[in-house]
Structure formats: C-alpha cells, structure tokens
A = this chain, B = another copy of it.
Amino acid sequence: MPHRMRPTEELRYLILAAQREGNRLLLQALRPLGITPSQAEVIRILQDHQPLALNSLGDLLVCESGNSPSRLVDRLTSAGLVDRQISAFDRRHVELTLTEEGRRLAGQITAIEEDLYRSIDAAVEGRDTDQITGFLRAFVADLPAGRALARRIAS
C-alpha cells in the first residue's frame, strides 16, 4: 500500500534529486580538470564578462547567494586560474580576470557541459520545454538565484 505522496511533494523532491544528480555528474566529469561545478561556473562567467569585480560576480552566480564568493575565488587564484587585481579607481574593488591557464580550462569546461546538456535534452525529449522552464522561472522569479540567472541571460 503506497504512501501516495502528493504530486507537489514529489515535484519538490524531484527538483532536489535532479540538482543533486546533475551536480554529481558534473563533479565527476570535471574531476580530471581539478575543479568543481561551482568553480566552473565562476570560470565560465569570467570568460564571458571579464574583467569583473567580486561583487558583480556574486550578482551573476546561481550557485551561491552572492554574499561572499571570495573564498570560492580564492581557490581559483591559488590554482592559478584567476587573477586578482585591486582596482586603481576604487581600492575596495577587486578586478577578476582569467589567466592564460584559466582561459584554456574554460574551453574544456564548455565541452564537458555539452555532455550534461545532452543528458538533459534526452529527458526533455518529447515534452514541452516551455511548461518546464515556465514553471521554474515563475518559482524563482523574485528570488536571488532567479534574478542572478536573469542577469546572466540578459547580459
């Protein structure tokens, strides 16, 4: 006799499960590069938007509430992938740019992400994308991560 979980509760856990598994897949795929999914997000953002202040990076990050990506970036600078430079105009700002090595990695990340997108596309197959994205957009519309993503798409 099933517990007959209600649809909304199942949906909640499906979102959790999908995020967890997507992250795990990406984690394993990125392992050879020595970086994590969150670090990869930073690198991809910098590739498209450098130079960028820590602050503005936080505004574009979905993986974090944006309060303090400094530690996330710390690991990338110690790994020699990101360059930090204090702004000449406002010494509170830190200008972030990719290093040569970081730019090289960015390309490899793109290729790895392709595999993930193929998995997602396979699951979307035969369904109405707009129903799915419409629901998710509505859910996160007024929340920090949703706004970060909106900025990413718009910029």
B contact residues around A6 at 8 Å (CB): 117
Please determine whether B62 and A8 come into contact, CB atoms closer than 8 angstroms.
Answer: no
Binary interface encoding of chain A residues 122-134 relative to chain B, with 1 for a CB under 8 A from any of its CBs, else 0: 1111011101111
State how many copies of this chain the complex holds: 2
The number of residues on chain A lying at the interface, defined by a beta carbon within 8 Å of a beta carbon of chain B, is 60
The docked-state distance in angstroms from the alpha carbon of A60 to that of B11 is: 16
A104 within 8 A of B: no
Please determine whether A20 and B135 come into contact, CB atoms closer than 8 angstroms.
Answer: no
B contact residues around A148 at 8 Å (CB): 17
Contact of A3 among B63, B121, B152 (CB under 8 A): B152
The docked-state distance in angstroms from the alpha carbon of A19 to that of B153 is: 19
Contact of A136 among B2, B5, B17 (CB under 8 A): B17
CB A41 to nearest CB in B, in angstroms, measures 9
Q: List 21 A-B contacts (CB under 8 A).
A: A2-B153, A7-B129, A8-B124, A9-B113, A10-B153, A11-B124, A12-B22, A12-B117, A12-B120, A14-B136, A15-B15, A15-B22, A15-B136, A16-B62, A16-B63, A17-B136, A17-B148, A20-B145, A21-B145, A24-B143, A119-B139
Residues of A within 8 A of B (CB): 2-24, 48, 62-63, 65, 113, 116-117, 119-125, 127-129, 131-140, 143-146, 148-149, 152-155
